[in-house]
Amino acid sequence: MGRDRTLKAIKWENTIPVSEEGLLATRKQLIKSVQPYFMVLPGFFFVLLFTLYPIVSMAIYSLLRENLAHPVPTWNGFGNYVRLWQDPLFHQVLKNTGLYVLMVVPVAVCLGFLFAVWINGHGRLGAFLRTAFLYPIILPVVSVASIWLFILTPEYGLLSHFTNWAGLPEHALLRDASTALPALAVVAIWRQAGFYALFFLAGLQGVDPDVEHAARLDGAGRWAVIRHIRIPLMWPVVVFVLTLAVLNALQTMDLLYVMTQGGPDNTTNLILYHMYETQFAFGDTGMASAISVFFLVVVALVSTVQIFVADRARREHDD
Amino acid sequence: MGKGWVRWGKTALAVGLGVSLVVGCGQSEPTGSTGQEGDQGRKVELTFDYPVGVAGPLSRIIQGMVDEFNRTHSNIHVTASFTGSYADTTTKVVTAVRGHNPPDTAILLSTDMQTLIDMDAIVPIDDLLAEKDSDSSFDINDFYPALLKNSQQNGKTWGVPFQRSTPVLYYNKTAMKEAGLDPEKPPQTWTELVEYAKKTQQADASGQVTRWGVEFPATGSTYWLFQGLAIEAGQDLNGPDPSHVNISTPAAKKALQWLLDLSKKEKVMPGGTIDWAATPTDFASGKTVFAYHSTGSLSAILKQAKFGVGVAFMPKDVQFGVPTGGGNFYIFKGIPESHRKAAWVFVQWMTAPERAAQWAIDTGYVPVRKSAAQTQRWKAYVEKTPQAQVAIDQLQYAYPEFTGHQSPQLQKIVDDAVQAALTDRKEPDQALDDAQKQADQILSAYR
């Protein structure tokens, strides 16, 4: 708004004959209009240095052939992307990542919501429950991974003590190609559900109690209140948590770095770990950059969908 | 609970190292400044990155050696940084080299040599031989030839063997005796290993196995142990030059099939991929009678095990054979001349015969020099611990570790193939054929 007025003012100044006062006024206006840009300049400098510059140079590197065999970068066009498209390992990594997101996100978000409802319903017990659900998120991921690695190790892990006690056959979850990824997913869910509960709890406490009272007076049961009052009113929070959960799952790296290193036979290799390995273990800068660009596009798409959906939800809510 | 200590130990180690580093620096500082002459030139500050690749408190031992070096050299001060596993250390050093900020010296895998040469990151030590450490009688020919195969190329020496190992077969003597076998006659062949494993394996009333016959880990250095099997079956995985590899050969296929049979057909080994880091613990706690692992884990196993520990060659199929493994010292390009000279003095000092012998005693690594194996302390040690001699004897059958251009990638390809077969995702032959194709695709850039 302020900027519009300034522009108008400048136009208006230009139409009158140039005079001493006129010039002075113009300069004042001009300074006023560029001033905000100078104010954000220091902040923008850091964005430029640490976000924009790396993104642009990454995009350029993705078009170059630079690896241990070709230490001097040469132009490769879309060669890296073509190779990526044809690489069975990359396909497998994408499939793993997709499966992992599908396993982790719905369960973690639903559990988070249920935890929040539970905590919200208890006065004094609530504080205790909150601590209980939240503590996994306080632990560093690497510790979480080490603890679970210990739990899941057959022969002497906690899980195997339990299965032995219950007379069940012992199963080495992380050594088996079909159970390694689900085992990682369980750990991720255990860690994150409590975190999402925190957001839902904030959302629940923002729901006007009068609306709920009114619904109850009209004979709505507990689940009807959740379905028809709480979830619709909290829709923006739900969308936000979903997005956060998807991004978190896409960015999983530390868990598998400690627990499986992508094995056995790449069955737990996720995109971020694959990217890391391509660059830092295999020294293939061109390919790693192409994977990064691909990843960036996926993340940007998820975020865009979130903004779009949340925006529509808010507008509907306002109407 | 304490059985999981290898992994916990690593974390504790990292923390402990942080402390010991601080303490170490605190100690060496005053000794340096009270140093007698020292002032004709400024003190050279060296950086040294090293990994820990086997079980045991190795970083404390290295820090102790570095502290002693600093005490005895008034004009050089070395700052040692423990940088995690081999892979972590390589990642860190390669990134630093690319950022034009290499460490002065580092211990990296012997198979990283090709990558480092391709990156033009290291100097051949032939250029440095003129510079002598007073304490050393450095002679490259004093090092075991088997170890130099992964340290030399094109007539030049690029790395100095330091923490080098071979895989060996650990066995539980007590369990052998109980099963009516002669504990002094470990299995010599694949067939004997299966036979002995069957005899010593134990199960409870319900048929649940309580003690396995054998464990062959397949998560850490899978390709490394597997290379041993391939050699024993008749052909090495290495090609004639760094741009060729022999992954898909009849010998390798036979080896992989045999490995798979251990769990599937003979049922003497747990299924799936057995964890590398957990194997020494499993063995020392009696969960398995035979275990393939690095010699580097010997002293940790001896400390933990409550039974007679035997060490044997990897059993043969058509021949004996093992790869060597472990780390070399490398000296980097792009550092000042004074640093290069000082780094060379440091490397000579660290690999001097007496020290090499002590290092081998403390860890279980092979004494890298013939003269180290002749020292009094080594002889006395072998008198007490004859298991340590096995690795040296086995060196006569040793091959260079699987390597080539882009070693880490080639090694991962073999790891994946072995894991794919062990987890039933591919037939062994198919897995190795696919691996060969992938490797050829990578190596074609170098042919």
Decide if pLDDT at B278 tops 90. no
B348 at A interface, C-beta within 8 A:
no
**B-proximal residues of A, 265-304, CB under 8 Å:** 265-267, 277, 280-283
Which residues does chain B have within 8 Å of residue A280's beta carbon, measured at their own beta carbons?
91, 94-95
Do A267 and B423 count as a contact with CB atoms less than 8 A apart?
A: yes
Nearest Cβ partner of B272 from A68, A146, A172? A172
Do B424 and A177 count as a contact with CB atoms less than 8 A apart?
A: yes
Q: How far A140 CA lies from chain B's nearest CA (Å)?
A: 13
B95 at A interface, C-beta within 8 A:
yes
Q: Which of these ranges, A170-184, B293-307, B416-430, has the smallest mean pLDDT?
A: A170-184
Classify residue A283 as left (phi > 0), alpha (psi -120 to 50) or beta.
left
- Report the pLDDT value the prediction gives residue B139, as an integer from 0 to 100: 87
Q: Which residues of chain A have pLDDT under 70?
A: 1-19, 123, 155-156, 170, 317-319
Q: Are strands B105-109 and B44-50 parallel, antiparallel or unpaired?
A: parallel
Q: Which residue does chain B place closest to A83, by CA atoms?
A: B441
Q: Which residue does chain A place closest to B211, by CA atoms?
A: A155
Give me the total of CB pairs closer than 8 Å, taking one residue from chain A and one from chain B. 98
Q: Which residue does chain B place closest to A150, by CA atoms?
A: B4
Do B271 and A282 count as a contact with CB atoms less than 8 A apart?
A: no
Do B422 and A280 count as a contact with CB atoms less than 8 A apart?
A: no
- Report the pLDDT value the prediction gives residue A56, as an integer from 0 to 100: 94
Decide if pLDDT at B268 tops 90. yes
- Best of B263, B419, B444 to substitute, by most chain A Cβ atoms within 10 angstroms, is B419
- In this prediction, residue B66 has a pLDDT band, given cuts at 50, 70 and 90, of very high
A264 at B interface, C-beta within 8 A:
yes
- Report the pLDDT value the prediction gives residue B19, as an integer from 0 to 100: 39
**A-proximal residues of B, 409-428, CB under 8 Å:** 409, 412, 415-417, 419-420, 422-426
Residue entry with tokens 């003590």: A161
Decide if pLDDT at B86 tops 50. yes
B403 at A interface, C-beta within 8 A:
no
Decide if pLDDT at B21 tops 50. no
Q: Which residue does chain B place closest to A282, by CA atoms?
A: B409
B340 at A interface, C-beta within 8 A:
no
- Report the pLDDT value the prediction gives residue A17, as an integer from 0 to 100: 57
Distance CA B227, CA B236 (A): 7
Distance CA A112, CA A195 (A): 7
Residue entry with tokens 């030059």: B241
Distance CA A60, CA A286 (A): 9
Q: Which of these ranges, A192-196, B65-69, B129-133, has the smallest mean pLDDT?
A: B129-133
- Report the pLDDT value the prediction gives residue A14, as an integer from 0 to 100: 52
Distance CA B226, CA B260 (A): 12
Which residues does chain B have within 8 Å of residue A277's beta carbon, measured at their own beta carbons?
412
Hey, CA dihedral for A236, A239, A243, A244, is it positive or negative? positive
> Stretch B82-102: mean pLDDT, rounded?
88
Do A264 and B219 count as a contact with CB atoms less than 8 A apart?
A: yes
- Report the pLDDT value the prediction gives residue B55, as an integer from 0 to 100: 60
Nearest Cβ partner of B409 from A172, A176, A282? A282
Distance CA B281, CA B64 (A): 26
- In this prediction, residue B27 has a pLDDT band, given cuts at 50, 70 and 90, of very low
**B354 neighbors B377 (Cβ within 8 angstroms):** yes
Nearest Cβ partner of A175 from B274, B285, B405? B274
Question: Which of A206-220, B115-129, B381-395 has the highest average model confidence (pLDDT)?
Answer: B381-395
pTM of the model: 0.80
Decide if pLDDT at B12 tops 50. no
A217-267 residue pLDDT tens: 888 887 888 888 888 888 888 889 999 999 999 999 999 988 888 878 899
A179 at B interface, C-beta within 8 A:
no
Mean pLDDT computed over every residue of chain B: 87
- Report the pLDDT value the prediction gives residue B33, as an integer from 0 to 100: 36
Which residues does chain B have within 8 Å of residue A266's beta carbon, measured at their own beta carbons?
416
B145 at A interface, C-beta within 8 A:
no
Q: How far B405 CA lies from chain A's nearest CA (Å)?
A: 8
**A-proximal residues of B, 12-71, CB under 8 Å:** none
- Report the pLDDT value the prediction gives residue A235, as an integer from 0 to 100: 84
Nearest Cβ partner of A281 from B91, B420, B422? B91
Q: How far A90 CA lies from chain B's nearest CA (Å)?
A: 13
Do A69 and B446 count as a contact with CB atoms less than 8 A apart?
A: yes
* Burial readout B65-87 (b: 16 or more C-beta within 10 A, e: otherwise): bbbebbeebbbbbbbbbbbbebb
Instruction: Identify the residue with better confidence: B197 or A174.
Output: B197
Nearest Cβ partner of B425 from A156, A170, A177? A177
Do B409 and A281 count as a contact with CB atoms less than 8 A apart?
A: yes
Whether the ipTM is more than 0.85: the answer is: no
* Residues whose CB is less than 8 angstroms from the CB of residue B50 and which lie 6 or more positions away in sequence, other chains included: B59, B62, B80, B81, B82, B83, B89, B106, B107, B327
For chain A, the three-class secondary structure string (H helix, E strand, C coil) is CHHHHHHHHHHHHHHCCCCHHHHHHHHHHHHHHHHHHHHHHHHHHHHHHHHHHHHHHHHHHCCEEEECCEEEEEECCCHHHHHHHHCHHHHHHHHHHHHHHHHHHHHHHHHHHHHHHHHHHCCHHHHHHHHHHHHHHHCCHHHHHHHHHHHHCCCCCHHHHHHHHCCCCCCCHHHCCCCHHHHHHHHHHHHHHHHHHHHHHHHHHHCCHHHHHHHHHCCCCHHHHHHHHHHHHCHHHHHHHHHHHHHHHHCCCHHHHHHCCCCCCCCCCCHHHHHHHHHHHCCCHHHHHHHHHHHHHHHHHHHHHHHHHHHHHHHHHHC
Q: How far A100 CA lies from chain B's nearest CA (Å)?
A: 19
- Best of A144, A175, A275, A276 to substitute, by most chain B Cβ atoms within 10 angstroms, is A175
